[in-house]
Amino acid sequence: MRASDKAYEALRTDIVEWRLRPGTVLGEVEQAERLGVSRTPLREALARLSADGLAVQLRGRGTVVSDVSFEHVDDLFALRRALEVESARIAATQGDPAIFASLRDRFLEARSSISGQAANRESYYLLAAELDQCIDEAVNNRYIEQSLRSLRVHLARVRRLAQDDPQRLATSASEHAAIAEAIAAQNPQIAVAATQLHLHHSLEHIKNHAGSERDTSK
């Protein structure tokens, strides 16, 4: 694995998992020493982070971890609506019904077994990620996929703003099952509706269950 990839992965994970909080300055020499790589690959990593929107490069003052606040959540979900609604529509027209029927069953099963356990929560997120991936494959559109990949990084970061409780996860599982169901039934209209509903509830939950990370815009 290249040193630049290693540095990028490490920094991206640190940012998404809030170990590097918004506003943190990423000095080149400092981070290069911390990650055990030279400045050259580290600079490449910082450039990629900037392209992802996870950091911004201020001329002269260095690179800082980009800000994430509640005002941006609405913006993020507006893009998510645009992309995922269209993706669901396309997946419903040209996806493999068997795959999504199977996913629906797994979501329904997951709904019953969800608890507050961290491991359980993590496995649910993995299942949701699998649905996303299957939709990606059904859509088979490199441009949409790229935009979605960028979006999901930011979503993962925002997730920490809200506290996911078992109640919400169970509801979310139902909504995901409904999306998979509609795609399996090859019904674009219902797939769109289910997606819109899920996004609406997801956004409402985040806005109503603000976490302790509120004080990011210092």
Partner DNA sequence: TTCAACGCTTTTGTATACATTGAAGCGACT
Partner DNA sequence: AGTCGCTTCAATGTATACAAAAGCGTTGAA
Interatomic CA distance for residues 11 and 155, integer angstroms: 17
Residue 85 binding result from a copy of itself, DNA, none, given CB thresholds of 5 to 8 Å by partner type:
a copy of itself
Do 4 and 45 form a contact (C-beta atoms < 8 A)?
yes
CA 201 vs CA 13, 44, 151, 215, 216: distances in Å:
27, 38, 18, 24, 24
Residue 63 binding result from a copy of itself, DNA, none, given CB thresholds of 5 to 8 Å by partner type:
DNA
Q: Looking at 16, 90, 161, 183, which residue binds a copy of itself (CB under 8 A)?
A: 90
The tokens of 129 are what? 């990620």
CA-CA-CA-CA torsion for 206, 207, 208, 213, nearest 10 degrees? 70
Name which of 21 and 48 has its Cβ closer to a copy of itself.
48
Q: Looking at 24, 38, 69, 196, which residue binds DNA (CB under 7 A)?
A: 38
With 0-12 / 13-18 / 19 or more C-beta atoms within 10 angstroms meaning exposed / middle / buried, residue 175 is buried
Q: Does 116 bind DNA (CB under 7 A)?
A: no
Do 73 and 39 form a contact (C-beta atoms < 8 A)?
no
Q: Looking at 10, 16, 26, 88, which residue binds DNA (CB under 7 A)?
A: 26
Q: State phi, psi for 109 to the nearest 5 degrees.
A: -70, -45
Size, binding site for a copy of itself by CB under 8 A: 29
Rounded to 5°, angle at Cα 157 from 108 and 41: 125
Q: Does 218 bind DNA (CB under 7 A)?
A: no
Residue 37 binding result from DNA, a copy of itself, none, given CB thresholds of 5 to 8 Å by partner type:
DNA
Residue 150 binding result from a copy of itself, DNA, none, given CB thresholds of 5 to 8 Å by partner type:
a copy of itself
Q: Which of residues 62-81 bind a copy of itself (CB under 8 A)?
A: 72, 75-76, 78-79, 81
Residues that bind a copy of itself (CB under 8 A): 40, 43-44, 47-48, 51, 53, 72, 75-76, 78-79, 81-83, 85-87, 90, 139, 141-144, 146-147, 150-151, 154
